[in-house]
Amino acid sequence: MRTLANETPSKIGSSVLLKGWVHVRRDHGKIVFIDLRDRSGLVQIVASPELVEGLHTEDVIHVTGIVAARPPKLVNPKLASGTVEIQAEKVELISKAAEMPFDMGGAELDLELPTLLDYRSLSLRHPKIQAIFKVQAVIIDSFRQALLAKEFLEFQAPSIISSVPEGGAEVFKVKYFQHEAYLSQSPQLYKSLLVGAFERVFSVNQIFRAEPSVTTRHLTVATSLDAEFGFLNSWTDVLDMQEYVVKYIFEKVQEKCGPELAMFDATLPQLPKKIPVVKLREAQEIIFQRTGRDCRVEKDLAPEDEREICAYAKEKLGSELIFVSHFISAKKPFYVYPDPADPTYAFSVDLLGRGVEWSSGGQRLHNYDEILDHVKKWGLKPEDIELYLQSFRYGVPPLGGFALGAERMTMHILGLKNIREASMFPRDMERIDLRLKTPEKK
């Protein structure tokens, strides 16, 4: 029966069978040390040279040997298996690896981003790269668990849609048999209409944004964590639900990802009892008072504004997250709920963290006649969103929700420099797995 690397400390004196990859090989004359890597981590193998003759990095091997306690001075506290080593009795080569294009044995994988992604199938084997996606998996799973605990139903939204009702980012057109269709920018309309059926729903979806830009914070294909629920008493119910979810995620990442956080010297965002909230115009006034930069008539926050209001929240409010609400109604999608006190502004909310937007959300219109009025004002065709309108025609309660970006959360929890590092297989204008060649100029 196979034993995993991190199970070996409980089997001192026993014979075990380990299966994994040669992570590092160190030759010391009559003794060879091999760090064997499996899904649980690393464990040190001690072998004679003849047992491991010809083995090198990334060879797949089976090792049979005795688990022995390491001398106290040789204990490695950084490894779960650091108190033991395996005295090899038999080593089998299962699959031979080609010569490595770069060093895989260091604590860091010191590569430029293009090379890291060009060799993605190999770089994903490195423990520090794997740590990114272990954290991301906990983020996504914790999002699910938090909402399931609140009686939300998970659904899968379509990726192919018939029209583009939300505006905003450019979209990808696709040929759908003999028709023209689009890749979805958001599951928003589907999750809203489902409130009329299930009251509380969420989805984990790939979304597609054909924005002609290459930045460190944008992806063409991203993972959106969407939630929507009904019977709101106030737009602030959306903030309360989102704060509950975000804090739940942080709690689980802290609980389950200690070693991974340590690899990046990462800490979870500092938060007070309640995440602070400022309106857009209040945020812009704060920025003006702090910097002298006048953005008080702008319809949104520029990246430098997001960084500044986050700096303010951390310095003055003891929070690395801040909600910014009341964006301009006319600059948001048709379903936004205008504030009755001043319909110029909507119950629309972004969550900013560590200098960048993490999510968007807010209260949505639920009255059919008001929705139809907005559809016409926004210059949309009712027939393009008939399925959505159908739900509201037959009664939907006050509703709202939010969408978190899984890659952005991962990036800013771990302090990554580029969001592509937080995507296993990133897509952007220059890459679909392989770098796209620029057409030669004639």
* Dist. CA 238–CA 326, nearest whole Å: 13
Instruction: Find residue 346's DSSP bridge partners.
Output: 338
CB-facing half-sphere around the CA of 59: CA atoms within 13 A: 19
| CA distances (Å), origin 6, targets 75, 81, 124, 162, 263 | 14, 5, 20, 50, 17
Are the beta carbons of 169 and 157 closer than 8 angstroms?
A: no
Which pairs from 29-36 meet CB under 8 Å and 24+ separation?
35/105, 36/5, 36/61, 36/63, 36/86
As to burial, measured by CB atoms within 10 angstroms (0-12 exposed, 13-18 middle, 19+ buried), residue 368 is: middle
Are the beta carbons of 168 and 334 closer than 8 angstroms?
A: no
**CA neighbor of 337 nearest in space, from 400, 387, 394:** 400
CB-facing half-sphere around the CA of 288: CA atoms within 13 A: 11
* Dist. CA 99–CA 260, nearest whole Å: 28
The region that residue 350 occupies, defined by phi over 0 for left and psi between -120 and 50 for alpha, beta otherwise, is beta
The catalytic residues are: 209, 211, 217-218, 357, 360, 408
Name the strand (E) or helix (H) holding 409. helix 406-414
Handedness of CA 359, 314, 271, 295 (dihedral sign): negative
Are the beta carbons of 61 and 22 closer than 8 angstroms?
A: yes
Residues belonging to the chain? 442
Q: What is the DSSP secondary-structure string of 118-176?
A: HTHHHHTTSHHHHHHHHHHHHHHHHHHHHHHTTT-EE----SEES---S-SS---EEEE
Name the token pair of 291: 């910097």
